[in-house]
Amino acid sequence: MVHRMRDVAGAVALVTGGGNGIGAAMVKLLRDKGAKVCAVDIDEEAAQRSGADLAIGADVADREAMAAAVDRTVAEFGKLDLVFAIAGITHPPATLRVLKPGEAQRVIDVNLTGTLNTVQPAIEPLIATRGHIVVVSSMGWPANTDYGILLPAVGGVAYSTSKTAVEMLGRGLRMELAQYGVGVTIGYFGPIDTAMVHLTPNPATKAKWKLIISPEKAAAGLLRATERGKVRVIIPARWNFLNAIRPLGVHMDNLLLRSKKQRAFVRSYDSD
């Protein structure tokens, strides 16, 4: 079943992570298309710089702050049509063994609980407009180094775990909200040229720098898919073929365990 969005022009949108990177590009794009936009970001100044109609400094991990942000958006603009849960973080590559207490937890709190905190308070306003929810997962490559959801990402286990869970959150929401005419799109990004991607440099991903795309292109791809009511979109599309390896599951993990390169990665992320 495809949920078709009405026109973005005249819509009211809330974008988390709207201060930088893909979120900031989305704020600009939505405004250029005639939407009213509320940007929520833990970095309030960055949210203000985004040029959003309403900028709110809030931590997506803070449930009450997110409920207040949704309420304020509806109070200010009279409705809510679109929610883009884009805010996300990771930590520099490190195994769970060497991470400090709380570092992995924070990634889960922002990426997973933060997405839940963003979308749940928005459900009733979105039902009222037959609106649309967009959540952000991840597509990683090369397989054993980046933080996607295709494989257990060494050095980024909390990230890949959170993004796998976000995918299921989106799928579940879609099932529950279809009866109300509310649609859900799940975006899976490959490497995008933002601050986040520069936090995870490593020698084997040199190829990635050639394949990286701009946050503007990423936002445009995500909005196009949203307008078309697509349930999922892999951006850029060149990574679509990677989906083929997903059903291999632990068999793929077993192959990786035999790889010398993989073992070298684990070792490099396993020392403080």
Any idea which residues carry the catalytic annotation?
159
The residue type at 245: I
Stretch that binds ligand NAD, among 16-24, 73-81, 97-105, 125-133 (CB under 6 A): 16-24
Based on the shown chain and the rule CB under 6 A, indicate whether residue 236 belongs to the binding site for ligand NAD: no
Binding-site member from 30, 110, 150, 225 for ligand NAD (CB under 6 A): 110
Binding-site member from 196, 223, 225, 233 for ligand NAD (CB under 6 A): 196
Based on the shown chain and the rule CB under 6 A, indicate whether residue 50 belongs to the binding site for ligand NAD: no
Per-residue DSSP letters for 222-251? HHHHHHTT-SEEEESGGGGGGGGGGGGTHH
d(CA 230, CA 158): 27
Considering the complex, state which of residue 48 and residue 129 has its C-beta at the smaller distance from ligand NAD: 48
Per-residue DSSP letters for 159-190? HHHHHHHHHHHHHHHHHHHGGGT-EEEEEEE-
| Contact (CB, 8 A) for 55 and 39 | yes
Based on the shown chain and the rule CB under 6 A, indicate whether residue 22 belongs to the binding site for ligand NAD: yes
CA-closest candidate to residue 26, choices 12, 11, 35, 15 = 15
Based on the shown chain and the rule CB under 6 A, indicate whether residue 41 belongs to the binding site for ligand NAD: yes
Sign of CA dihedral 238, 211, 197, 246: positive
Contact code string over 53-72 relative to ligand NAD, x by CB under 6 A: ------xxx-----------
d(CA 239, CA 243): 8
Based on the shown chain and the rule CB under 6 A, indicate whether residue 19 belongs to the binding site for ligand NAD: yes
Binding-site member from 11, 37, 54, 197 for ligand NAD (CB under 6 A): 197
Based on the shown chain and the rule CB under 6 A, indicate whether residue 21 belongs to the binding site for ligand NAD: yes
Partners of 83 in the beta sheet? 14, 133
Considering the complex, state which of residue 100 and residue 260 has its C-beta at the smaller distance from ligand NAD: 100
d(CA 112, CA 88): 9
Considering the complex, state which of residue 103 and residue 258 has its C-beta at the smaller distance from ligand NAD: 103
- Cβ contacts of residue 249 below 8 Å, gap of 6+? none
Based on the shown chain and the rule CB under 6 A, indicate whether residue 160 belongs to the binding site for ligand NAD: no
Contact code string over 118-157 relative to ligand NAD, x by CB under 6 A: ------------------x-x-------------------
Binding-site member from 13, 17, 38, 56 for ligand NAD (CB under 6 A): 17
Kindly list the distances between the CA atom of residue 212 and the CA atoms of 124, 186, 235, in Å, as whole numbers in the listed order. Answer: 37, 20, 10
CB of 120 to ligand NAD, least distance (A): 15
Cβ neighbours, 10 Å, residue 36: 21
Task: Give the footprint of ligand NAD on this chain (CB under 6 A).
Answer: 16-17, 19-23, 41-43, 46, 59-61, 86-89, 110, 114, 136, 138, 189, 191-192, 194-197, 215
